[in-house]
Amino acid sequence: MEEQIIRTEYSEIMQKSYIDYAMSVIVSRALPDVRDGLKPVQRRTLYDMHELGIRYDRPFRKSARIVGDTMGKYHPHGDSSIYGALVVLAQDFKMGIPLVDGHGNFGSIEGDGAAAMRYTEARLQKITQEAFLQDLDKNVVAFQPNFDETEKEPEVLPARIPNLLVNGSEGIAVGMVTSIPPHNLGEVLDAVIAMIHDGSLTDQQLLEYIQGPDFPTGGIVVNKSELAQIYSTGSGKIRVRGKVETEKMKGGKECLVITEIPYTMLGANIGKFLNDVAALVETKKTTDITDISNQSSKEGIRIVIELRRGADPEYIKNLLYKKTRLEDTFGVNMLAVADGRPETLSLRQILEHHIDFQFEVTTKKYQVMLDRELKKKEVQEGLIRACDVIDLIIEILRGSKSQKQVKDCLVYGITDGIKFKSQRSQKQAAKLDFTEAQADAILEMRLYRLIGLEIDALMEEHKKTLANIENYTDILNNYSSMADVIIRELKQFKKEFARPRRTQIMDAEAPVLEEKAPEDIPVVFLMDRFGYARTVDESVYEKNRESADTENRYVIHVSTSQRLGIYTDTGKQHLLKVSDVPLGRYRDKGTPIDNLCNYDSSQEMVINVLPIEKAASCVILSVSSSGMIKRVEGSELQVSKRTVAASGLAEGDSLISFYPVRENSQIVLQSKKGFLLRLPVSEIPFKKKAAVGVRGMKLSEGDTIEACHLLDAQEEEPVNAAKLPSDEPAGTIRAGGRSVVLSRLKIGTRDTKGTKPRG
């Protein structure tokens, strides 16, 4: 056979392949069907359990057996996906009505995983058997071949309850996601019944029956007024809060007890919530929480938050709602497969699809039952007639040579080859006209059926059959009769399986959190030459003043409400809140400054630390290694960004000095080659902080500024400045190999080379 090359556009092939893949994921894996509210893996698992006979009134079977059988027959996508679906179907904290009865460790509300499938056992719940699988033998739904066409599986289960609403659904497909909250079974069935009676009910009217979501974890929905919009469009956001109660403790203390959590907090998010509460204390958002413990058990959720004596429980409650997941958002997107395609549905549309499906299933069910009763009627009528001519039938049986002769005589009146006792009997036999089904029943009839009581029982059974035929015909031909049957079933399900609502629905104000101003405590900021920072109480500092001043590079008196500016040789200002610096004992090592702000010790070096609020009223002197110099108004340092440029620098230049000065102060610039230049601060011009500045000292090739000394350092300074490391006496430096008294230097002018002390 010759090879054929088909030329086509590559983009068209990719588009078609991707669409086919997307639709396969959407319809065959990720999204539930609006009719039974199940995804394919859930439907196949339940059907397989039904086929294995693992009913609610029979012993449990190993989960591994169920998973293996489902994977081998219906769902060839791996055992983990099947077991995962089986586990969720058995978890009462995830499902509104669990469909599987699990025995063993099927996980916990706190996120613990289920035990391996070889250890756990399962069976169907009673509601699953009666409301999802009851009428499969009556051909009420279509069956399709399985993946290898060796078995048949139902396209959809004949669910008698709106499972899509009752248990909700979550799934991620290609380019779309479904997220439907669970609802209360009794309320949903009431809405279905009301809509069967009046098909014109609107979404708003249906909410008179369905109050809103009913999460298995309880909680409180706090945006009731928005539910009408959410249910009419099929999408929106539901705000859910946990339930918090206040309890008295010994010693006059109080504690907050969380007894119900938002549905979104299931699993690992409970642990995250505990960590978030602890973080509130660590970051000093509140000092009123003294302890938190998770006392949850099989009886339910119980998270206890102990409060300091005199604390305001209402404020802490609002803080938890505002700063943690104790109040969370459940995103609603009621997307499901309807008529073979994905569609976002409103509440009314979901119920419409369900009711249409119920009438379809009920029609097929009663048609099958009617056909069975009609066949039974035919047989019963034949047996009743046979009892009237039983002697003739016995004569035919005795005179015939084969069963075919007897059957032909009973059905068609053919008497050829049959020996009769009289001509009259033969004439009577020729008039027989039983149907084939009746003839077969007569041939199989046992002699005890000729007893008088048995004949009476046959007549009574025939009357019941006629009554059933009349009833089934009425149901099939009259909408109201079929509606009554459906409603009667729904009421029975409600009576047996409905339970009280767990989630409270209300309108509540958003939590108002009046931020309490943090207590302004005077402290002393200490930072050593290795970059470890801490704050200590002023009394602690006074007790250790000598060693604190000696061991630390920066010693700054501030308060916890203030901010510090960390200034580096790269010309950057890193903001640091004093309240973020750990307050500890004097001998504590402290925390690396890298961990407290954006400072990176591998890329830059600290040249000074200034209190922003105090420095704002000062004049700041900026000196770079290339000799560029300027004065900057301290108010320019008042910014909210965590990191900004504190001084403009030319390429390759670095900042060596950045501290406050007075108008009458003097400075001494010291170069690497030993040149010194004494300048009045008044000669240095004011510039914007982004400016590079002007040349303060003329440098020879290869020379740089290595220090800038403030002559009035021994006087009271407006702001603490960096301590200049020197072994010389105050006011003396080492330059050119000799000690130099700064105050004896001749005052020079800006942009000159300065003087070099003689050796």
- The per-residue b/e assignment along 308-324, b for 16 or more CB within 10 angstroms, e otherwise, is eeebebebbbbbbbebb
CA–CA gap between residue 577 and residue 260 (Å, rounded): 37
Q: At what angle do helices 347-388 and 479-497 cross, to 10 degrees?
A: 110
| Dihedral angle over CA of 687, 693, 696, 701, nearest 10 | 180
Q: Is 119 a catalytic residue?
A: yes
Kindly state the tokens that stand for 243.
């339930």
Element (DSSP H or E) covering residue 753 = none
Other C-beta atoms within 10 Å of 212: how many?
A: 24
Other C-beta atoms within 10 Å of 202: how many?
A: 12
Name the residue among 375, 549, 362 with its Cα closest to residue 468. 375
Element (DSSP H or E) covering residue 330 = strand 327-333
CA atoms within 13 A on the CB side of 658: 34
CA 514, distance to chain mean position in Å, is: 29
Residue 686 near residue 622 (C-beta atoms within 8 A): no
Q: List the catalytic residue out of 18, 47, 83, 119.
A: 119
Three-state DSSP class for residue 544:
coil
Q: Which residues face 335 on adjacent strands?
A: 344
Order across the sheet with 591-592: list the strands.
554-559, 522-527, 532-537, 591-592
Burial of 503 (0-12, 13-18, 19+ CB in 10 A): buried
Q: Which residues face 532 on adjacent strands?
A: 592
- The per-residue b/e assignment along 518-532, b for 16 or more CB within 10 angstroms, e otherwise, is eeeeebbbbbeeebb
Name the residue among 556, 548, 553 with its Cα closest to residue 529. 553
Three-state DSSP class for residue 96:
coil
H helices of 132-249, where?
163-166, 185-197, 203-206, 227-233
**DSSP at 11:** H
Burial of 219 (0-12, 13-18, 19+ CB in 10 A): buried
Element (DSSP H or E) covering residue 527 = strand 522-527
Q: Which residues face 679 on adjacent strands?
A: 667
Euclidean distance between the first and the last CA atom of the chain, given in angstroms as a whole number: 104
Residue type, 745: L
Order across the sheet with 563-568: list the strands.
606-611, 563-568, 572-577, 643-645
Residue 30 near residue 39 (C-beta atoms within 8 A): yes
- Backbone dihedral region for residue 474 (phi beyond 0: left; psi -120 to 50: alpha; all else: beta): alpha
Radius of gyration of the chain from its Cα atoms, rounded to whole angstroms: 45
Catalytic residues: 119
